Structure 1
């Protein structure tokens, strides 16, 4: 709106000027006016009526094609047709006036029009360069001036009036001074001494501002280098060199090459390189540099796990006087390779582990690490062999060794566990750590005897305190839990208490006799031995001991009936004259309280010696005629008969038999009267009786030979078992073996009982004879332990021979 008002005023002024100057029209228009802007009413100012401009063909004849204005045919006004740039049309000329010719035809007439293009502030100040490098010796004095090239502004007038400012600096300022020329001179003035070592380069900004509204500015960067006497230092083409090297790079490999140049000439241009500093300082001997070419090579091995990055400060120095230098930085980043195996440490170990420890109990804490990085340092772990233990991850790099299954110390007392680790590198590296896990004992096993039933043989009349046997119970536990003590439990067979006859040593398990044993009173003693460990709570086990008392020859034969307290007396019998040989006239009856061989009796005719008409059956005790009786034998025969057992030593008793020789009828009467305990046999049937006796004697001799052989074998075996270093104990639980003997040496088999034996009219008695040679135990019967092995139980050989003399027959 303001521009329009100004244009109207200018038109009025031109019209007045036209009237004063004799018809010349002057217009004014600002540069950069938009196309279509009306400069002035040209037709009206020329005195043309409305509508005459087109009729009389009013047009503009431009002397310069860049006029940028035209005449509107419709209105006859002078308007802007294209961009008007004063600086392009007139440059720095002022004022900028364009001379135009206007032609009116019909009739033809020429008018001169002057168009002034006025300036606007549309151009900022411009420096010749955006950056200005200055080299100033650091020895320059304060107030030294250095000429600067100022800026230019295409505008004119106030729009081209420039002022200068310098960015804040304590060392420099700018100053304008008038010179003889029409332009002002611009100087850079030093305000403070320069120090290259402190500030080698000053970066400043010079700003030029014009006087237009609004103000426009232009800038130029001033780079001021402070120089030594050698005014150019070498410069690297890069300030930082970045290099990546695997840690297994071989020695002598080229790391990188640095390059620096110096714009000086001669010796000031020649440079040499050196490694100034290396970080860390301990790596100073890993790299070397060629002083001429700047090649950096590896001279020592690198280790990523020790140093992951090296920083080399390389210095380049020229050969000037004094020499100038510069530095660059070489950063060497080390790349990891899988050159470190995993490491496994046991940080805590809780051993021994009780065998009753619950599943999930933590046995050990482990730490696993790998000095490599990335996949090379990623570790997986497991336990080998797979057993009662496993690994559980607690947090990164930490694991717990836990119990996965129940333990049994008696089966496995100690485990050797190997914790294995493997990293994720290629190829993968492995490591392992052995962990010894002992298992501690708890009292979970009761003592156990090797046999449920022990059979022990002991001779009667043994001394008090004699060792009868040695028992041993095994407890697989250890220490106090496996320390066994022995004792005798109360009770026995037939009301006999075992503790009154025997005692057991609490530590060794040896069975001792508390008193002498008497076979005639006690043949079998059964008692229990208890084994108790020292655990908490204590556990126990029992074993049954069957003690068989072996008979000793401690009883002499006794005649039935006994005629005196001494065991000897006179017996009476009658024999008929003329009795044939083999005629039984009497029978000696005797018993022995012992059993077996000790109770096996034999009869011998002691007196008269020589040719006696009588003889005695060796085992039957029958007194019979050795030949036919004659009157020369006298009316009476006195026979001394000795009865001996088969014991060692043998015991004996004597009987005196008085045989009266009478007639046959008297002998028969005497036999019928029964005046004596011996029965006289009549002479009748002599031949048949004699034949039966002869047959009986033959079989009796055969039986005696067989029994004697067996007796000798039994004696040998029994002696071997008796003098063996260990007690005579049978090798395993089994039936009790008893041997019973009759008056003629018969044995029979029994289970815990003795057979009753009746001899003639005497009372029955129980006989026991056992043969127990000490044979070595069967394989597998020994148990390894620190305790002494109990004596091996012998094998019992049973002789079952029944020899019974009844009514003249051998069964």
Structure 2
């Protein structure tokens, strides 16, 4: 055995050293499909060159990498590789012909050589030639025979047949027996050659009951390889009949889907002997390992069953040698040929050979995006496959050479609608029942800058309270760009619609990345109630795209302005407004009206009028909406005739702001009785210049004469009618010159008590004594001053000027009418 292994090794090395590469066939078909044939001996060393595939395909060395020359095969790519530098087709792994093809006469491997730019496919076939690398082998190392001593010379005993996995001249050729004195070697040839042991002379059990002979099998290789088995012969008693099979060759066809442990066939042999010599034992002999693994035989009944699941794609035929041996040691053989029938048990397979991802969204229709291969291991109709794309997609399958399909676009792609596609390809074979397979390929779509930024609105409106802090954010604006990555990165800026106007950037600024708008200054509602800016959004694509939006910024009014009292008019001097109220005034009569305005707007400018520190029995009421002061009840002799009223004008803001004015109301029917009060208040004022002093004296003289005229007219009028509707009791008043009576006394307040005035009694004064307003004074902090005084003091100085009184009346009527119209 050791010599045989050494001889086998030397033989293999001898053939591996002789690398013979034969270029058999190279043909280019009109359809664009090409086929190349090579042949090589098995067991060639890794890296051995088979041929220059690039040259045979008409490629130069520079085109190998550029056109991506490669092997596409699930089987052959294990055994072959292409040198990308020179285009040689090399051996990549050990190639054992017997493992690939068994005892078949032809053995070859095929693969497809694929090149791109343009795409082409070449079918390559490599024939595998046999070398003498397998010695003959006996299944059993020892053959045990029992031969009766009464066996006549010339009797033949069939021996175990050796197997040689090599083919052709390297296959099994001859047998040889070792030297012995009783037996010679014979051959029985039918469909196969079986060695036979021929008895040359009678046996003598008493002389020698055991014979050991070595049977050697030789193949036809160079050097010759051999295999041996030991024939151990036991001489027994007489047994002169051999088992005989009912058939010399058994044939059966099995479906590959046959269940496990199913009966294949039952072989039977007959032995005409009796007793123990007629009992037959069945077994496999000279059978391949694949057959022994797939089938099992019952040694008594001869029933053969499946031992494992059969697979047509692995083994299509089994050749089994079955022997029948009786208990006397006689053996006979028969052949069992099993053919496996294909079933549609293999679904199609889809493999992606080449794919281009991502694909630009502006790719033209017909652009090749992928190359796939569809294969089915079944044969015949079961191996025929139809392929299609599932669903409605902008792609289609185009058949290419062999089992290859191209996936090409059918329309323009739009990444903004679909950023990627899951292309599902379904392959269905034509077997019964049909089998199918689905494979999904993800194809990403790359973006181009074909979408400008889009604002959600064309006009935005932001409301900002006035007196805001400079630098504070007031709004956030966003635009959307349907593109991706750099094409969707936006930069915001403010553009001026007119270069002549104040730059928009002096009002606001914008963060170019986030779109947040900031105030550049503190806004004043009374100055700028609203302004407009234009915002530009520009993407980062090439070329860049942009869009604009308009933003209106409306300033919201805050309550930051106190009411301004227009009447009684505001004076910087510290004086009090005096109003004379006739003692006989009826309830509800109008005394005067406070007129005020507020620079704010809306609710902040809604004004209300209130008395501060009202008495328990107030003689006057004020309309909180119009500011009109009226008499709440008629006067009595015991009532206080001098009233100091503080009027607060309050707006409706939060917090509210207010202004105040102080009015001194003197109730009397005699104008002269009020003069001491007026004079006492006037003397508190600072003296004016000499020019003012003389002017006051002149005015006082004119007023004196005018007053006498008025009193005379009143007395005469009183005598004629005691019930004047407007003046009441005016007996104590001096006559009034009719020239000073206004012609318009049909207004809201009746003349002459519609508007009471106070005049300056000091000769140095030239102005009127007007009320002084106090702004921003909390209501609760206002305290009424002392209103005590005697209304019956004797007037010692007669200075009042009726002319001045009438001028003041005309002035107040003018302001009242103006603001009444505004409100």
TM-score normalised according to structure 2 size: 0.47
TM-score normalised according to structure 1 size: 0.48
Rg larger for: 1
